[in-house]
Amino acid sequence: MTEAHSYTASEMLAILSARQLRDGQVVFAGIGVPLLAATLAQRTRCPALTILFEGGVIGAFVEPGKLPPSTNDQRCTKRANMVLGSADVLLLLQRGYVDVGFMGGAQIDQYGNLNSSFIGDPAKPKTRLPGTGGGNDISSLTNMIVAMKHEKRRFVENVDFITSPGFIRGGDTRRESGLPAGGMFRVITELAVFGFDDTSKRMKVLALNPGVSREEVQDNTGFTLQFDDRTEVTPPPTEHELQTLRLLDPERLFTA
């Protein structure tokens, strides 16, 4: 779909993710949709947004059509504020300078725990995934936003391995595990926008995307969802959001 008034599921995912960010925040962004969303927010609503990369870049300002495929790509450094070593960037997390962590994942469970390590039995996994990188550091020390495709095999009751902690087993278990700050803030998919219950810390639907029913979301989820008392419908992408997004990613590397 190429008309300004139509959009792909991936474009919806990036735009809804961008809307979660606020001007003046410091965002630790992963490659792919998280970076595209952060860059879109920076170009449309949040000019003072600061983007950090695990590779060491602080204050990245990505040029249209030149989205880097890796956090170590030197295109990330153009017009950046500074470039540090990876350890120094992760130290900024520990010092509390980062507001939001923005990542994807292969699996997520009802408490917002992410798995990017392996699928199946740890002794003989069916699939090996990329692993943690800085994912554990980011999720342990910031408020997390996760953007991912909504499938039952991805939205599971319990992840096969907790690579990046959300609310662990719910309730106060994150704090009891030694992580007093941060936690999962939002999960964005092509079907809905999710938050987490204040007490149980279980995932709940805050807003359905246009044309999506409660039944469709539940049918594509491997655990019982909660629905907010005031479940809304997300506004569709605006023409300005779509035009800016397509300018940033003209070859549809992340939004096909």
Catalytic machinery residues = 54
| Strand pairing category for 100-103 and 82-83 | unpaired
CA distance 240 to 23: 18
Q: Beta-carbon neighbour count of residue 128 at 10 Å?
A: 10
Q: How far apart are CA 116 and CA 97, in angstroms?
A: 25
Radius of gyration of the chain (CA): 18
Residue with the two structure tokens 């469709």: 216
- DSSP annotation of 249: S
Q: Which of 194, 199, 246, 183 is nearest to 225 (CA)?
A: 194
Which residue type occupies 36?
A: L
Q: Which tokens go with 196? A: 């987490």
- Is the CB of residue 203 less than 8 Å from the CB of residue 185? no
Buried b (16+ CB within 10 A) or exposed e, 89-107: bbebbeeebbbbbbbbbbb
